[in-house]
Amino acid sequence: MEAQGVATSKIRSWLKSGLERAYPQIIAILLAFLVGAVVLVATGHSPQDAYIAMLSGAFGDKYGIGQTFTQATPIIFTALAFLFAFKCGLFNIGAEGQLIVGALAAALAGISFGDVPAFIHIPMALLAGALAGGLWGLMPAILKTRLGAHEVITTMMLSYVATYLTSYMVNYPFKAPGWVAQTVPIAASAELPRILSPTQLSASIFIAVAFAGLIFYCLQRTAFGYAVRATGLNPPAAESGGINVKREMILALVISGAIAGLGGAGEVLGVHRRFIDGFSPGYGWDGLAVALVGGLHPIGVILAAILFGALRSGGMTMTRATGVPLDIVTILQALVVLFVTAPMLIRYLVRRGRYRG
């Protein structure tokens, strides 16, 4: 009986401290929805109808919940990608491109090697995705450390290159017969099992959550993570402490790209089972917003990813039901990013709110 009491009070205090830490982000989300409501009203739509439709679409039935978590999965990967690079002081805004090349690589690995047993084929395809993403992170890393090229621009450029290059691949050499720009399906042995039929939710989400924990552990409990964080916070001091700053940066960007690539692989192996041109509705950008809203913390990231996944899946329902353009979701995401940008802004608004009320 006592043990139960201790456990619940521990959980309660842990939740309370979590909420205290998260309150700027929570307020940012609420403010974003508020401004979003203004936009909706100004363009002749009802915010209540839109938001309720979104909510019911996202969590209302089994299919909705499945969609929500399915959409959340790649976002967790891209958020972790951005987070890891960010902890090293780097801005990887090319996670979208890294996700896409990872997806294509996994698709190709899944298509070739038809007779391999699943327990080899799946890891192989996932690895292919991670390697491709890692390569897409290695290029800006070398450009930055050897040549001083700022990674914000190079990762962005490579993202465009990735989009066009994979589009070419899937429109010409690897195109499946038919009208759609996509590859042939992957072998059955490469498929990640679905876990909530009839939805598309796949085992990829387990991998995502596992990696969230792994990344956190790596950053907080290993010497390597220590070196990454030191480099991100104060490169000259890290250098004085014997840390090879350039090496840490390269590793951080490669790992960052690999994680995004892994996310793309997960999409191909678990959800689509083939590479489709344009399959990503912008998971890379979602990841950035989610990393920030999640307070750069694994639990926050998972929760925020579920929120954004809900926005995406609920958004589709909302569009069908109310006719509100789907892009309101992007607007909401942008507003969240903007409100989260400046913690001082939240504090300022809260103080002004208190004065009035």
Three-state secondary structure call for residue 177? coil
Residues numbered 63 to 102 that lie near other proteins (CB under 8 A) are 91, 93
Query: Binding segment for other proteins among 54-62, 151-159, 260-268, 306-314 (CB under 8 A)?
Result: 151-159
DSSP states of 292-324 = HHTTT-HHHHHHHHHHHHHHHHHHHHHHHHH--
Query: Is residue 249 close enough to count as binding other proteins by CB under 8 A?
Result: no
Query: Is residue 8 close enough to count as binding other proteins by CB under 8 A?
Result: no
3-state SS, 271-287, equals HHCCCECCCCCCHHHHH
Query: Is residue 222 close enough to count as binding other proteins by CB under 8 A?
Result: yes
Between 248 and 267, whose beta carbon lies closer to other proteins? Answer: 248
Between 257 and 270, whose beta carbon lies closer to other proteins? Answer: 257
Between 201 and 255, whose beta carbon lies closer to other proteins? Answer: 255
Between 116 and 214, whose beta carbon lies closer to other proteins? Answer: 214
Query: Is residue 171 close enough to count as binding other proteins by CB under 8 A?
Result: yes
Number of amino acids touching other proteins (CB under 8 A): 68
Considering only 52, 161, 299, 321, the residue that binds other proteins (CB under 8 A) is: 161
* Joined tokens for residue 258: 């690999």
Q: What letter does residue 258 receive in the DSSP assignment?
A: H
Query: Binding segment for other proteins among 12-20, 72-80, 117-125, 333-341 (CB under 8 A)?
Result: 333-341
Shortest gap between Cβ of 310 and other proteins (angstroms)?
17
Considering only 9, 43, 48, 197, the residue that binds other proteins (CB under 8 A) is: 43
Query: Binding segment for other proteins among 68-76, 118-126, 267-275, 330-338 (CB under 8 A)?
Result: 330-338
- Taking each helix axis from N to C end, the angle separating 2-42 and 343-356, rounded to the nearest 10 degrees, works out to 80
Distance CA 349, CA 201 (A): 39
**What is the distance in angstroms between the CA of the first residue and the CA of the last residue of the chain?**
44
Considering only 46, 56, 234, 322, the residue that binds other proteins (CB under 8 A) is: 234
Query: Is residue 33 close enough to count as binding other proteins by CB under 8 A?
Result: no
Kindly report whether the peptide bond that precedes residue 123 is cis, defined as omega within 30 degrees of 0: no
184: region left, alpha or beta (phi > 0 left; psi from -120 to 50 alpha)? beta
197: region left, alpha or beta (phi > 0 left; psi from -120 to 50 alpha)? beta
Between 192 and 228, whose beta carbon lies closer to other proteins? Answer: 228
Q: Would you say 262 and 123 are in contact if contact means Cβ atoms under 8 Å apart? A: no
Between 195 and 338, whose beta carbon lies closer to other proteins? Answer: 338
Distance CA 115, CA 63 (A): 33
Considering only 9, 197, 213, 327, the residue that binds other proteins (CB under 8 A) is: 327
Closest residue by Cα to residue 92 from 40, 157, 41: 157
Shortest gap between Cβ of 17 and other proteins (angstroms)?
14
Residues numbered 273 to 292 that lie near other proteins (CB under 8 A) are 285, 288-289, 292
| Residue corresponding to tokens 């050499």 | 173
Between 197 and 222, whose beta carbon lies closer to other proteins? Answer: 222
Length, in residues, of the chain: 357
Q: What are phi and psi of 178, to 5 degrees?
A: 125, -175
Judged by the rule CB under 8 A, the positions of this chain that interact with other proteins are 39, 43-44, 91, 93, 143-144, 147-150, 152-154, 156-158, 160-161, 164-165, 167-168, 171-172, 221-224, 226-227, 229-230, 233-234, 236-244, 285, 288-289, 292, 325-335, 337-338, 340-345, 348
